[in-house]
Chains A and B, each alone.
Chain A
Amino acid sequence: MRSRGWKIIAYCLLLFGAALSLLPFFWMVRSALMTSSEIFQFPPKMLPDHWLWGNFIEIFEVVEFGLYLKNTLFILIPVLIGTVLTSCMCGFGFARLQFPGKNIWFTLIIATMMLPPAVTLIPTFMLWTELGAINTYWPLVFPSFFGGGGFFIFLMRQFFMSIPRELDEAALIDGANYVQIFVFVLLPLVKPALLVVAFFTFTNVWNDFFGPLIYLNDESLFTLALGLLQLQGTYTSDWNLIMAAATVMTLPAILVFFLGQNILLKVLR
């Protein structure tokens, strides 16, 4: 009896919490569907009189949201390839192969996760400036071909370590080389982990605005995040359009999560 009472309280609290969690989404979408005069009515209205779905089309006409989307994908795809490829290569190397200095290198790579990005930011920016790569996608794409960072290397290494060693040994005796073992024996077994790396890489690129902010000045190169920021700065009174654009930018992130959540939860356990 006592635990039943507790459960009812728990449900109520969860419901209240979930409502708070969802309320901002509701406000975003309802503002996205209003006219620009309706959003500034006082006291604020809960729902629009006419649902203006056209706002979602307008953001592609008023600002070049289509171009920003294309630019974002132009960065996203090579970054995905670089991160997935090199993080699993390095994860394999650190998990399965013996070589002198292995532990020192691995420890150093893991330690970099603690380093504030602000420390390396300025010299890195100066390097790209020297190379004449400001206003190109090189600074945003190229570094992802270097293992994708400590977290992904660590994740992939953990995965490779969980696979029985007998598999590689058997393949070695059969005369396979390390590349063959990596590609044909182990890679098929770590597919879920690759998907997790791909998911986090997607969210990182989709979310990132600091990198594009400092490396891109030319508006025709802007990503969605910069485009949204631009929209917010330029059309300060058109909160309906700003909210429509924020909605459009949020949807793919949620969609990708829904598609991948089963694998994600299984792997991260």
Chain B
Amino acid sequence: MGARKKTTRFARKEHLAGYLFTLPAILGLLVWTIGPIVASLVLSFTDYQVIADTINWIGFDNYITIFTEDLYFKQALVVTLYFAFASTAATLVAALLIALLMNMKIKGQGLWRTLFYLPVLVPAVAANILWMWLFNPEFGLLNGILRFFGLPASMWIYDEASVIPSLILLSIWGCGGAALIFLAGLQEIPKDQLEAVELDGGNAWHQFRFVTIPTISPIIFFNLIMGLIGAFQTFNQAYIMTEGGPNNASLFYVYLIYREAFVHSNMGYASALAWILFLVVSLFTVLIFRWGKGWVFYGGGK
């Protein structure tokens, strides 16, 4: 009996310590995440405007307005989806290519790694302002290069058709982080598997297709999910570089939320917009996880 009492006392002490040590995170979850999620859902069914300072329950009105009347919503959704998928795909391909090259028993790997990682270190505001200057149609570096090769100049971020491709170029510039993650994965590939393909008469493409890709598929998947979720949150480029223009061609979804909430003070309406973003991101995450089941192999299985 005495022994049992002792263990429970020990266990109780451990439970208490456990709660005390994790209290900051648990409080943080309740105060900064769960509380605001509930509040934001409630707000999305109200007409709360900071200026009017009245708050009325209006049911689904915000959502109905968003889907039937708000042309900005449709534009922002299209722009964001276009950018998210195109920039994630382009960044992944560029990062994988760089990682494959760096993995070819190349000399000075530390130096290469640093060179490709440098752009990631440039603070967002500095990077965006720098690229505005590079994109400058008259005095920018990019048109300078195009002219040097006798190619036609571009309006870059100042033209409806080229603004999103320009911003994709900027995201490719920052692909060093993903490249490093790919490189770490490539270095884990067992050599004997690559040799086995060679013995069976396979070439470099077969090695890549049947060994490299399946082995690093969890990393491709990780970079894909993180890249997409990040791209859905794009805000800086719209705020700093384009102000959503020209002619709403770079009206990113989070920028629209920001504009409704902090420029027009429509907090209720902006909350409804934020909830739709939440649902869209969740939907795509679930779909990609389902799709991933077909091609992601964990632990070298299958």
Contacts and interface: CB of A to CB of B under 8 A. Distances in A.
Q: Do A and B bind each other?
A: yes
Interface of A: 6-7, 10-11, 13-14, 17-18, 20-25, 27-28, 31, 39-44, 86, 89-90, 92-94, 97-100, 102, 105, 108-109, 112, 114-127, 143, 145-147, 153, 177-179, 182, 203, 206-207, 209-210, 213-214, 224-225, 228-229, 232, 239, 242-243, 246, 249-250, 253-254, 257, 261, 268-269
Given A105-B26, A250-B121, 11 more contacts: A92-B21, A109-B26, A118-B233, A118-B277, A122-B36, A179-B17, A214-B262, A228-B129, A249-B123, A249-B126, A257-B117
Interface in B218-270: 229, 232-233, 235-236, 239-240, 254, 257, 261-262, 267, 270
A146 B125 contact: no
Nearest to A85: B24
B233 A116 contact: yes
B196 interface: no
Contacts, number: 239
A24 B40 contact: no
Q: Which 9 A-B pairs have the closest CB atoms?
A: A146-B28, A93-B21, A99-B18, A147-B25, A97-B18, A123-B39, A120-B36, A93-B22, A123-B36
Main secondary structure of the interface of A (DSSP, over half): helix
Interface stretch (B57-65, B131-139, B158-166): B131-139
B277 A207 contact: no
B143 to A, nearest CB: 8
Given A14-B112, A122-B274, A225-B125, A97 B35 contact: no
A177 B11 CA distance: 13
B141 A27 contact: yes
Contacts of B121: 203, 250, 253-254, 257
Contacts of B281: 114, 116
Given A10-B104, A42-B139, A18 B115 contact: yes
Interface string B39-65: 110010000000000000000000000
B277 A21 contact: no
Interface residues of B, number: 84
A118 B141 contact: no
Contact of B274 (A23, A89, A94, A121): A121
A140 B279 CA distance: 27
Contacts of B138: 40, 42
A107 to B, nearest CB: 11
Contacts of B126: 228, 246, 249-250
A146 B282 CA distance: 25
B278 interface: yes
23 contacts: A14-B102, A17-B116, A24-B130, A27-B133, A27-B134, A44-B139, A86-B25, A89-B24, A92-B21, A94-B25, A98-B15, A102-B22, A109-B25, A112-B33, A118-B277, A121-B274, A122-B267, A147-B25, A147-B28, A153-B25, A182-B21, A242-B133, A261-B114
Nearest to A213: B239
Interface of B: 11, 13-22, 24-29, 31-37, 39-40, 43, 97-98, 101-102, 104-106, 112, 114-119, 121-126, 129-134, 138-141, 144, 147, 173, 176, 184, 204, 229, 232-233, 235-236, 239-240, 254, 257, 261-262, 267, 270-271, 274-275, 277-278, 281-282, 285
Contact of B106 (A11, A126, A145): A11
Given A43-B147, A99-B15, A21 B22 contact: no
